[in-house]
Amino acid sequence: MHRPYNFSAGPAAIPEEVLRQAAAEMLDWHGSGMGVMEMSHRGREFISIYEQAEADLRELLAVPPQFKILFMQGGGLAENAIVPLNLSRGGALDFVVTGGWSQKSQQEARKYASVRIAASGEASGFTTLPDPATWQLDPQAAYVHACTNETIHGVEFQRLPDLKALGSDAPLVIDFSSHVASRPVDWSRVGLAFAGAQKNLGPAGLTLVVVREDLLGHALPACPSAFDYKTVADNQSMYNTPPTYAIYIAGLVFQWLKRQTDGALAGIAAMEARNIAKAKLLYGFIDGSQLYVNKVAPDCRSRMNVPFFLRDESRNDAFLAGAKARGLLQLKGHKSVGGMRASIYNALPLAGVQALVDYMREFEQHHA
């Protein structure tokens, strides 16, 4: 008897093994007599949890030594302000707008800097990604911002743009909230990456920031100390009390990720292989069906967030009710686009996608 499959876009499914371990350790972590929630963040017990989590994440994502790993708070929406507060130096910024999230990011950044839209997918209804060769980059920009997986519109960069090859020396800032740890990252192309944890890493309330050291130390005077990357880095993410329990859960997810294998692959490479297989199964079924449609250009489709529509939208409620009855949860699309959305993050197994496809097929046949 398996648990229901949870297709939430975030907060999202957590691996069952992680939840079981957290429940077992809730009152007493490793014989300490305390639950993790009850530990001083300055005590050696929590410090060991923190250091292990950071080391595991660095290993999993192959983060080079010249990058700092910061555990912060406020999620992606807070980072939309925190990034320009730290990196803009009050100058010009280039934004690539590819959906709802980068749209919000560029809007918030206008509080702190002069924002240019270097490229936009809006004309296509965000069903395609603008080719980097067409981006209008400002040679003076303090950074270039891109959201490398758009949770709402379901588009994903299959490779990171090489800004240097495009003639820009600006650091690339990526919002990788909704596909972090689902595939490797080419850090040679990145200056800063941020992610809310609640999609692929752990509980809401934890934000991951990976930032190249040379970008630290230039925060605007208005930047709150608790969100000044240099202050955070200099204090090992403990300038203010960190979200200790969320870090602990993320650490358990990292250990779970390290245990994953797929043939000869392990860790993130194994996850990527699995995520490719999951996406192929779901998009393949949708494209072959008469009832369901995904409007995103095939080479821009997200492996993580699969929005789709019923060609007959009067059946939406029946579709969702039937899904829930089968233990297929949280499939309703984002209110701004409607329809359905299956978020198939790391913790959602291939069997869950297969169960969804089986249900979709049956629903289509039954309602034909």
**Which residue of the set 29, 68, 94, 199 is catalytic?**
199
CB of 299 to a copy of itself, least distance (A): 29
Contact between residue 156 and residue 297 where contact means Cβ atoms under 8 Å apart: no
* The token pair that represents 71 in the structure block: 């555990």
Q: Is 256 a catalytic residue?
A: no
* The token pair that represents 11 in the structure block: 């907060």
CB-nearer residue toward a copy of itself: 204 or 273: 204
Interface residues toward a copy of itself, by CB under 8 A: 3-4, 6, 8-14, 16, 19-20, 22-24, 26-28, 33-35, 37-41, 43, 73-78, 80-82, 85, 108, 111-112, 196, 198, 202-206, 220-222, 224-227, 239-246, 249, 327, 329-330
CB-nearer residue toward a copy of itself: 176 or 227: 227
Provide the β-strand partners of residue 175: 147, 194
Single out the residue of 146, 221, 131, 226 nearest to residue 190, CA to CA: 146
CB-nearer residue toward a copy of itself: 236 or 240: 240
CB-nearer residue toward a copy of itself: 37 or 165: 37
Contact between residue 48 and residue 55 where contact means Cβ atoms under 8 Å apart: no
Single out the residue of 325, 327, 322, 318 nearest to residue 351, CA to CA: 327
Helices (H), 191-243: 229-234
CB-nearer residue toward a copy of itself: 77 or 277: 77
CB of 11 to a copy of itself, least distance (A): 6
Q: Is 101 a catalytic residue?
A: yes
CB-nearer residue toward a copy of itself: 35 or 322: 35
Q: Looking at residue 203, what DSSP letter applies? A: -
Contact between residue 74 and residue 49 where contact means Cβ atoms under 8 Å apart: no
Secondary structure in 3-state letters for 341-359: EEECCCCCCHHHHHHHHHH
CB of 104 to a copy of itself, least distance (A): 9
CB of 243 to a copy of itself, least distance (A): 3
Q: Is 199 a catalytic residue?
A: yes
Strand blocks (E) in the chain: 5-6, 67-72, 92-97, 114-120, 143-147, 149-150, 155-156, 172-175, 192-196, 207-212, 261-262, 265-266, 292-293, 305-310, 328-329, 340-343
Burial 200-232 (b: 16+ CB within 10 A, else e): bbbbebbbbbbbbeebbebbeeebeeebbbbbb
Go through the chain and tell me how many residues it has: 368
**Which residue of the set 29, 56, 68, 101 is catalytic?**
101
**Which residue of the set 135, 175, 230, 278 is catalytic?**
175
CB-nearer residue toward a copy of itself: 66 or 241: 241
CB of 331 to a copy of itself, least distance (A): 11
The single-letter code of the amino acid at 368 is A
71 vs 197: CA distance, rounded Å = 10
CB of 225 to a copy of itself, least distance (A): 6
CB of 342 to a copy of itself, least distance (A): 13
Helix (H, G, I), strand (E, B) or coil at 121: coil
Residues forming the active site: 101, 175, 199
